Structure 1
Amino acid sequence: MTRPIEALIHTDALQNNLARARAAASGARVWAVVKANAYGHGIAAVYDALKAADGFALLDVAEAEQVRALGWRGPILLLEGCFDARDLDACSRLDVWHVVHRREQIEWLAAHKTHVPHHVFLKLNSGMNRLGFAPAAYRAAWLRLDALPQVDRIGLVTHLADADAAVDAGSDGASEDPHALPPSVARQVERFEAATAELPGERSLANSAATLRFAASHPAVRGDWVRPGIMLYGSSPDHPAHGSAAWGLEPAMSLRSQLIACQDVAAGEAVGYGSTFRSERPMRIGVVACGYADGYPRVAPGGNGAATPVLVDGVRTRLVGRVSMDMLAVDLGPVPGAHVGSEVTLWGRATSGAVLPIDEVAAAAGTLGYELMCARAPRVPTRVVP
Structure 2
Amino acid sequence: MRPLTAHIDLNALRHNYLQARRYAPEARAMAVLKANAYGHGAIACAQALQDLAPAMAVACLEEGQALRARGIECPIVLLEGFFEADELDEVITGGYWSVLHTHWQVDALLTRLARWPQHRMTVLVKCDSGMHRLGFAPEEVGDLCGRLQAHAGIEQTLLMTHFATADTPDSPLLTAQLETINALRCLLDLPGCFANSPATLGVPASRHDWVRPGVMLYGVNPLEPQHALHDEIEQILRPVMTLESRIIAVRELQSGEPIGYGARHVTHRPTRVGVVACGYGDGYDRHAREGTPVLVEGKRAAIAGRVSMDMLTVDITELPEAGIGSRVTLWGRDASGSELSVSEVASWCDTIAYTLLTGILPRVPRCYHQDDDARESV
With structure 1 as the length reference, what TM-score do the two structures score? 0.91
Which residue of 2 is the match for residue 291 of structure 1? Answer: 279
Which one of 113, 116, 124 corresponds to residue 114 of structure 1?
Answer: 116
| Partner residue in 2 for 1:171 | none
Q: Residue 198 of structure 1: SS of its match in structure 2?
A: helix
Question: 2: CA distance between counterparts of 1:247 and 1:32?
Answer: 21
- Counterpart of 2:374 in structure 1 is none
Secondary structure of the 1:293 match is coil
How many pairs does the alignment contain? 363
The residue that corresponds to 1:14 in the other structure is: 13
More off after superposition, 92-101 vs 58-67: 58-67
Give the Cα separation in 2 of the matches to 1:326 and 1:74. 40
Deviations 1:185-214 (A, max 9, x none): 111011112223332332111000011112
Q: Which residue of 2 aligns with 1:177?
A: none
Distance in 1 separating the partners of 2:190 and 2:317: 60
Alignment partner of 1:261 is 2:245: no
Partner of 1:356: 340
Q: CA deviation at 1:245?
A: 5.8
Q: Where does structure 1 differ by over 6 angstroms across 4 or more consecutive aligned residues?
A: none
Matched AA of 1:21: A
CA distance in 1, matches of 2:190, 2:138: 17
What is aligned with 1:212?
A: 201
Superposition deviation, residue 243 in structure 1 = 6.0
2:316 corresponds to: 332
Which letter maps to 1:155? L
Q: State the distance in 2 between where 1:111 and 1:59 align.
A: 23
Say which SS state the counterpart of residue 187 (structure 2) adopts. Answer: coil
2:218 aligned partner: 233
Could you tell me whether the CA contact under 8 Å between 1:317 and 1:332 is conserved in 2? yes
Letter in 2 for 1:374: T
Match of 1:80 in 2: 80
AA paired with 1:164? D
How do 1:1-386 residues align onto structure 2 when only pairs under 5 Å count?
A: 2-51=1-50, 52-112=52-112, 113-115=115-117, 116-167=119-170, 182-214=171-203, 218=204, 220-241=205-226, 242=230, 246-302=234-290, 307-386=291-370
Task: Using the TM superposition, give the Cα deviation of residue 239 of structure 1 relative to its aligned residue in structure 2, in angstroms.
Answer: 4.3
Q: Is there any run of 5+ residues in structure 1 with no aligned partner, and where? A: 168-181
CA contact (8 A) 1:273 1:322 kept: yes
Aligned counterparts of 1:323 and 1:72: Cα–Cα separation in 2: 39
Tell me how far apart the structure 1 counterparts of residues 348 and 93 of structure 2 sit (CA, whole Å): 46
Conserved in 1, the CA contact under 8 Å of 2:168 and 2:224? no
Q: Quick check: 1:9–1:45 contact (8 Å CA) kept in 2?
A: no
Q: Say if 1:357 and 1:239 are closer, same or farther in 2 by CA, change over 3 A.
A: farther
Counterparts in 2 of 1:194 and 1:245: CA distance versus 1, 3 Å: closer
SS in 2 for 1:197: helix
Structure 1 residue 166, shift from structure 2 partner? 3.2
For the 8 Å contact 2:185–2:191, the answer to whether it is kept is no
Q: 1:372 to 1:299 in 2, by over 3 A?
A: same
What amino acid is aligned across from residue 331 of structure 2 in structure 1?
W
Question: What's the secondary structure of 2:335's corresponding residue?
Answer: coil
**1: CA distance between counterparts of 2:71 and 2:28?**
20
Unaligned runs of 5+ in 2: 371-378
Distance in structure 1 (CA, Å) of the matches to 2:351 and 2:87: 34
Partner Cα distance (2:70, 2:85) in 1? 26
Partner AA of 2:324 in structure 1: V
Which amino acid in the other structure matches residue 375 of structure 1?
Answer: G
Q: Is the 8 Å Cα contact of residues 277 and 310 (structure 2) preserved in structure 1?
A: yes
- Distance in 2, Cα, partners of 1:144 & 1:315: 61
Q: What is the alpha-carbon root mean square deviation over aligned residues?
A: 1.4
Q: Residues 196 and 27 of structure 1: is their aligned pair in 2 closer, same or farther, counting only changes over 3 Å? A: closer
Provide the identity percentage. 44
Q: Does structure 2 retain, via aligned residues, the 8 Å contact 1:314–1:352? A: yes
